[in-house]
Chains A and B, each alone.
Chain A
Amino acid sequence: MKMTSLLAPVKLDDEMDESYGYKDHVDDEGETRQKKSDKHGRLIRSIARLDEPKLSQKKITRSEPGKIIDDQALSTGGLRPVSVGALLRKSDSSASDAAIKRKIGAGTRSKVLAQPLRQTEARKAQRAVAYEEVSKDLKKWDPIVKSNRVAEGMSFPLDQTKLHIQTTSEYVKRYQTKTELEQQIEALVGASKSNLTKTTILTEAEKEALQAMSVQEADFRRQELAKARALLSYKEQKQKWQSKIKSKNYHRHLRRGKRKEEEKNFEELQKTNPDAALEQLERLDQKRLEERHTLKHRNMGKWARHTASRAKTDKNAREALQDQLRISRKLTEKLKSNDTDEDEEEDMDDMDEVVRAAEDTINNEAKSNPWMMARAEELDEERKGDLGDIDEAFEKLEAEEEQMDVRRRSRKESCSYMRVRAEAARKPKKTEQKQPKPLANRSRPQKKPQRHSESDDDSDWVADAEGETELVSGGEMIADTRNVTNAQTATPKGVSAPHQKNAKQSVHDTDIDPRDVIKKVDRTDARQVGIDGDGQDEDSDEEQRNLIAEAFADDNVVEEFKREKEEVAEVQKPKDIDLSLPGWGEWTGAGTSKQSLKNKRKKFTVKAPKSKARKDKFLPGVIISERHDEKIVPHQIKELPFPFTTVAQLQSTIRTPIGKTWNTEAAFDELTMPKYTTKMGAIIEPLKAKNVFKRQKRKKSEGFVEDEEISALAKSEVVQAGRNRRGKKLKSEILV
Chain B
Amino acid sequence: MKVKVLSRNPDQYLRETKRDIPKIPRNYDPVQHPFEAAREYVRAVNTAKLDRLFAKPFIGSLDGHREGVQTLLCHPQSLSTLISGSYDGEIRLWSLTERKCLKAVQAHRGMVRSLCFNVTGSHLFSVGDDQNINQWNIDNFDEPVSTIPSKSSLFAIDHHYNEAKFATGGEAVEIWDEDRSHPIRSFSWGADSIQALKFNRVETNILASCAADRSIVLHDIRQAEPLRKVVLKMRSNALCWNPMEAFLFTVANEDYNCYSFDMRKLGTPVMVYMDHVSAVLDLDYSPTGREFVTASYDKTIRIFPADKGRSREIYHTKRMQRVTTVKYSRDDKYVVSGSDEMNIRLWKAHASQKLGYLEPRESAASRYNEKLKDKYGHHPQVKRILRHRHLPKHVYNAKKQNDESRFSQKRKEGNRRAHSKPGAVPFVPERKKVTLQEQE
Contacts and interface: CB of A to CB of B under 8 A. Distances in A.
Interface of A: 123-124, 126-128, 130-131, 134-135, 137-138, 141, 145, 148-149, 156, 581-582, 634-638, 641, 650, 653-655, 657-665, 668-669, 671-674, 676, 678-689
B201 A138 contact: no
Interface in B253-300: 263-264, 287-288, 290
Contacts of A662: 28, 30, 33, 36
Interface string B230-273: 00000000000001111100000000000000011000000000
Nearest to A137: B203
Interface in B68-82: 76-77, 79
B331 A682 contact: yes
Given A156-B287, A673-B367, A637 B245 contact: no
Contacts of A135: 263-264
A141 B32 contact: no
A657 B40 contact: yes
Given A659-B43, A664-B24, A681 B367 contact: no
Given A678-B331, A681-B331, A134 B244 contact: no
Contact of A637 (B28, B264, B356, B379): B379
Contacts of A637: 378-380
Q: Which 9 A-B pairs have the closest CB atoms?
A: A686-B243, A684-B287, A686-B201, A641-B378, A678-B332, A131-B227, A672-B367, A135-B264, A657-B36
Interface string B368-397: 101110011011110000000000000000
22 contacts: A128-B440, A130-B223, A130-B225, A138-B247, A138-B263, A145-B244, A145-B245, A145-B246, A149-B307, A636-B379, A637-B379, A657-B36, A658-B368, A660-B368, A662-B30, A662-B36, A664-B28, A672-B370, A678-B331, A683-B77, A684-B287, A689-B202
Contacts of A650: 378
A680 B355 contact: yes
Contact of A672 (B228, B288, B330, B368): B368
A687 B203 CA distance: 9
Contact of B290 (A663, A676, A682, A686): A676
Interface string B328-340: 0011110000000
- Decide if the interface of chain B is mainly helix, strand, loop or mixed: loop
B161 interface: yes
B201 A131 contact: no
Contacts of B102: none
A286 to B, nearest CB: 57
Contacts of A682: 331
Nearest to B368: A672
Interface string B139-161: 00000000000000000000001
A686 B244 contact: yes
A126 B77 contact: no
**Most chain B CB neighbours (cut-off 10 Å) among A145, A664, A673:** A145
A157 to B, nearest CB: 8
Contact of A680 (B36, B39, B206, B331): B331
A689 B245 CA distance: 11
B86 to A, nearest CB: 26
B364 interface: yes
Interface residues of B, number: 60
Contacts of A665: 22
Contacts of B76: 683
Contacts of B370: 672, 674
Contacts of A156: 287-288, 332
Contacts of B247: 138, 141, 145
B290 A654 contact: no
A688 B30 CA distance: 47
B333 to A, nearest CB: 6
B5 to A, nearest CB: 15
Contacts of A634: 380-381
Contacts of B245: 141, 145, 148
B177 interface: no
Nearest to A688: B202
